[in-house]
Chains A and B, each alone.
Chain A
């Protein structure tokens, strides 16, 4: 798998799909398929797929408690334990996971590199990854939350508030969302890094580029709709509300760009459970992060623990008894 193939293949697929949806919606009036059928289908695939993956992971037991410990253990009471990096109780574990999931603790670790004296060195290369990753995920989450305004009537205060906050700077009309700008910057960074850093490029697969292109299309079409080629938001909301109340009705004339946006969103969520994007669920199931470092204090049970063949003391003594006696080492049988 060469680099060119890894990147071109997903690019061509996405391009093909883009043209497909543009063509179909513009010329065939199959809006029903793209506005109703595919969203329901994608959601169903997502929910079932996600559940299936989580259950299939959960079905495999955790035979050993193999926490990756990153801080001082809890031992003697005068030594201060680091309960976040070496969690001892379930509450500690929850805190550790929260730090990991919400702030990407492990990625941030990279940056913590300063020498005591001499040149002050900070790993910017690594800090960028943390920053871009965090920005991308949080922006994505906020954008998702903002979209709830299409699905609710009246729009709850919390969502209105987030929307307002995101609009704080009021640049342009309609105002450019802060998160839109951030997510474009972040995902561009993640993409460029994958293409330009040879060691990342070397390990990248088509499955790494595909979601990136998909996201570019979703974000691009979304921003395009808002700022340039505007669609009828009232009708979009009508459709959204009808979908969520399971009484689907398709308003006329929303605009083709909306269907592009919606189609790629559907593709993303349908693709989600079968891809590396499942790290969303996986991070909670990772045994090195979600277990406490209290191994010697609390026994961990392995459900498939089975008896193994050992060399018993009796066999051992039978073999060495004379030698042991000669050396005055106590034996069980004379």
Chain B
């Protein structure tokens, strides 16, 4: 059996374990809520993370294109970038997949002599981590941009107004509100 096939065979268990590990990064009373509530509107964090890691898993084993994988990553990282995590904590969830796979399938890989493939796959997870790092920084930059934009927006009407103020005498005679 091929390496990816084994992974996809064990997908439900692996994804579930991965999900539970990610949830452990939240307080206990929150984690259970995130785990049990299925409505994506009543529980956007849990639902997004679950869908996100499931898609990521698929993307990794099915050679999904980079753009796609990046959009899966995006959803999770958007959330974790504004929660109370240090950058390392926020991105730790990627590496948890390694732990999950090692715990579950290391023996099987050894028996079937798929260790090389296993290492290659781990490198893919590392690549994913790097991509996640990019996305994380983009999110943080976005937050600061939003801060700046908000301050600008607060007075944007004022700025537009200032630009309308006539500067030359001809402009002044043309302007209606500056006829006085």
Please list the residues of chain A having a beta carbon within 8 angstroms of any beta carbon in chain B: 113, 121, 123, 125, 197-199, 201-202
Contacts and interface: CB of A to CB of B under 8 A. Distances in A.
Contacts of B37: 123, 125
Contact of B39 (A123, A197, A199, A202): A123
The SS class assigned to the B binding surface is helix
A125 B33 CA distance: 10
A197 B41 CA distance: 20
B30 A125 contact: no
Interface of B: 28-33, 36-39, 41-42
A201 B29 CA distance: 8
Contacts, number: 23
The SS class assigned to the A binding surface is helix
A199 B41 CA distance: 19
Given A125-B36, A125-B37, A202 B42 contact: no
Contact of A198 (B28, B39, B41, B42): B28
A198 B32 contact: yes
Contacts of B41: 113
A199 B38 CA distance: 17
Given A113-B42, A123-B42, A199 B30 contact: yes
Contacts of A123: 37, 39, 42
Contacts of B29: 198-199, 201-202
A111 B174 CA distance: 63
Contacts of A197: 32
A202 B27 CA distance: 11
A202 B29 CA distance: 7
Nearest to B32: A198
A125 B31 CA distance: 15
Nearest to B28: A198
Nearest to A202: B29
B101 to A, nearest CB: 28
A109 to B, nearest CB: 12
23 contacts: A113-B39, A113-B41, A113-B42, A121-B38, A121-B39, A123-B37, A123-B39, A123-B42, A125-B36, A125-B37, A197-B32, A198-B28, A198-B29, A198-B31, A198-B32, A198-B33, A199-B29, A199-B30, A199-B32, A199-B33, A201-B29, A202-B28, A202-B29
